[in-house]
Amino acid sequence: MLRRHLLGAGAVALAAPLAAPAFAQGAWPNQPIRLVVPFAAGGPTDIPARLFAEEIGKALPQRVIVENRTGAGVVVGTDMAAKAPKDGHTLLYTTVAHASLRPLFPRLPFDPQADLVPVALVGVIPMVITVGKDFPARTLQELQARLRAERNGLDYASSGNGGALHLATELMLRQMGVRGNHIPYRGTAAAMPDVLNGTIPIIVDVATSAVPYVQRGETRGLAVMDSRRLPQLPDVPTTAEAGFPGLEAYTWHMVMAPSGTPEPVIMAVNQAFNRVAADAGVQRRLSDLAMRLVSDSTPASAADWLRSETVKWESLIREANIRVD
């Protein structure tokens, strides 16, 4: 059904007025599609990217091939996609990291906003504010009180300077009107042993990795940084329910294309990702990631989301004078 729908309504045969030289030989796609993922294979970004590539490839006359290009955060892979031919055969599968590129990397070889255009917001995964299981704060209000009482602040862990965990925690601290001591690690896996043994009391983590620890009682979830509770953690309130409305932070997944990619191709890619996101089987397969899939995204709504997130995180980075390693 998915294949028939996309080939009937989504495959693109560009009309003569819109045709660029790359399309002279016929409809899109006329060669395999590269989905560039600027993260390592097997990680929480790569897994859904590969599932979408697999499902979309079944619905199109060409394969969708995931290509992992890491380096300098997401800079290397994003640069590759930004400079690819504008023909819809190279796409970028990126995250919230895209919204913080400009202030963190002032000498980028590309413009994150001008050289790439949003195609579809694929899904969002909220952050979860957690503390060690023996830490004496059972609510977000109690955590705020503890932070206020500590003259030198409390330590909090992150997966690295300028990363999503670091930024989300700084957002929390600023809304609470308190300070903390940032202890960056090389990834969440490296940070968790010190959180579990009580050396570091606080970590704001992506729900994908936070949920199992909270479910096992190894950490305590104080709040989900979202407007709705997580089905996986029904007893953990949202930040608004915990007394901090508007304190929301996510990692999110978005598909982008080089600027100048023809609009009919953009729309076809958008439809393909939306159709897969709406599939119940795909939703079940990604439930372990705590990802809320978006099946009604448009290029315009994705652009609005990216614009809002960029303003939010660029402002925080500059105000807090955050720098990468």
Per-residue pLDDT tens over the stretch 181-197:
999 998 899 999 999 99
How far apart, in Å, are the Cα atoms of 110 and each of 77, 78, 164? 11, 8, 21
Q: What is the pLDDT of residue 43?
A: 86
- Rounded to whole angstroms, how far apart are CA atoms 291 and 120? 15
**Predicted confidence (pLDDT) per residue in 279-309, tens digit:** 999 999 998 899 999 999 999 999 999 999 9
Token pair 């300098």 is at which residue? 72
Mean of the pLDDT values across residues 15-22? 32
Q: What is the largest CA-CA distance in the chain?
A: 69
Token pair 């952050």 is at which residue? 127
Share of the chain above pLDDT 90, in %: 83
**Predicted confidence (pLDDT) per residue in 310-322, tens digit:** 999 999 999 999 9
Token pair 């390693």 is at which residue? 325
End-to-end CA distance of the chain: 48
- Rounded to whole angstroms, how far apart are CA atoms 97 and 116? 14
Q: Which residues pair with 116 in a beta bridge?
A: 258
Q: What Rg do the C-alpha atoms of the chain give, in angstroms? A: 21
Q: Which residues contact 308 (CB under 8 A, 6 or more apart)?
A: none
**Predicted confidence (pLDDT) per residue in 227-270, tens digit:** 999 999 999 999 999 999 999 999 999 999 999 999 999 999 99
Q: Sorting pLDDT into bands at 50, 70 and 90, what band is 91?
A: very high
Q: Sorting pLDDT into bands at 50, 70 and 90, what band is 325?
A: low
**C-beta separation of 209 from 188 below 8 A:** yes
Of 307, 323, 325, nearest to 112 (Cα)?
A: 307
Q: What is the pLDDT of residue 49?
A: 96
Q: Tell me: pLDDT of 17 over 60.
A: no
Q: What is the pLDDT of residue 19?
A: 30
- Give the DSSP letter string of 137-188: --SHHHHHHHHHH-TT-EEEEESSTTSHHHHHHHHHHHHHT--EEEEE-SSH
Q: What residue ranges define each of the domains in the chain, with the CATH number in brackets?
A: 2-124+251-319 (3.40.190.150), 125-224 (3.40.190.10)
Long-range contacts of residues 2-6, Cβ cutoff 8 Å, at least 24 apart: 2/55, 2/58, 2/59, 2/275, 2/276, 2/279, 3/58, 3/59, 3/60, 5/59, 5/275, 6/56, 6/59, 6/60, 6/268, 6/271, 6/272, 6/275
Mean of the pLDDT values across residues 32-37? 96
